[in-house]
Amino acid sequence: MSKDFCELSDECLVELAQNGDRNAERVLIERCEKQIFYKSTKYFLVGADREDLLQEGRIAAYRAIHGYVPTKGATFKSFSDMCIQSGMIASVKKANRQKHQPLNNYIPFESNRKGDEEVRVIDVLKVGESMQPEYVVIHKEMCGSIDEIVEANFSRFEKRVWDLYRRGESYRVIGDRLGRDWKAIDNAIQRIKKKIELHLIN
């Protein structure tokens, strides 16, 4: 694949891809990977792993490539971003319905444990409908913002743990920085989850 090909704009590549150029399609999918990965960290797909959600994002990116209409005014990046987000949320909603979750409209905290017991947490978000019926977007529906909940209800130690935890730091890193063992960090994170969920639900 030539360097010039890779340097083409998204819109030029879309035109080529829509006319059957597989290389253009491949480059566009690769360009969407960062968006796909970032968005996959925000959602939890019941009964599946991260790779399943990444795959949903790639499928959505493929659909965006072949559904993009430049004359409607949006850039391909903004259009694909919306499609990827919509695809992931649709998957989450479908999985939640199948599992008959009691809080069916809510995307739960993400718990992504890897080799170093890395756990990341997200805000609890409610799925809503966008002004454009063909898309689904997410919005926060809370009694107060997460930051307000943190400020009003967390201890000083919990605030420090939360600040590192939401950045995606591992238990080990958080413990090292705060001078506490793994169990103390785990206990703090469990308290944090319960406090946030309690205030969001109520």
Q: Which of 74, 103, 132 is the last residue of a domain?
A: 103
Measure Cα distances from 164 to 31, 159, 178 in Å.
29, 9, 10
Q: Do 63 and 23 share a structural domain? A: yes
Q: Do 153 and 115 share a structural domain? A: yes
Domain that holds residue 147: 105-202
pLDDT category at 87 given cuts 50, 70, 90 is: confident
Q: Is the pTM of this model over 0.85?
A: no
- pLDDT, tens digit, 9 for 90 and up, residues 130-175: 323 333 333 333 334 566 778 888 999 999 998 887 776 788 899 9
For the record, the structure tokens of 191 come out as: 């308290």
- Sequence-separated contacts (24+) of 108-114 with Cβ below 8 Å: 108/44, 109/44, 109/193, 109/196, 109/197, 110/41, 110/42, 110/43, 110/44, 111/44, 112/41, 112/50
What CATH number does the domain containing 98 carry? 1.10.1740.10
What CATH number does the domain containing 173 carry? 1.10.10
Q: Do 98 and 8 share a structural domain? A: yes
Q: What DSSP element (H or E) covers 137?
A: strand 136-139
Report the range out of 48-52, 94-98, 124-128, 182-186 with the highest average pLDDT: 182-186
Q: Do 64 and 89 share a structural domain? A: yes
Q: Do 7 and 92 share a structural domain? A: yes
Contacts of 143 (CB under 8 A, 6+ apart): 199, 200, 202
Q: Do 174 and 123 share a structural domain? A: yes
Q: Do 190 and 132 share a structural domain? A: yes
pLDDT category at 194 given cuts 50, 70, 90 is: confident
Q: How far apart are CA 175 and CA 90, in angstroms?
A: 36
**Between these two residues, 180 and 199, which has the higher pLDDT value?**
180
- pLDDT, tens digit, 9 for 90 and up, residues 18-74: 999 988 998 999 999 888 888 877 766 555 566 778 888 899 999 999 999 887 778
Contacts of 114 (CB under 8 A, 6+ apart): none
Q: Do 93 and 9 share a structural domain? A: yes
Q: Do 117 and 57 share a structural domain? A: no
pLDDT category at 126 given cuts 50, 70, 90 is: very low
pLDDT for res 62: 92
Domain tally, the chain: 2
Query: Among candidates 125, 133, 119, 77, which has minimal Cα distance to 105?
Result: 125
Q: Which of 51, 80, 103 is the last residue of a domain?
A: 103
Q: Which single residue is written with the structure tokens 């413990």?
A: 175
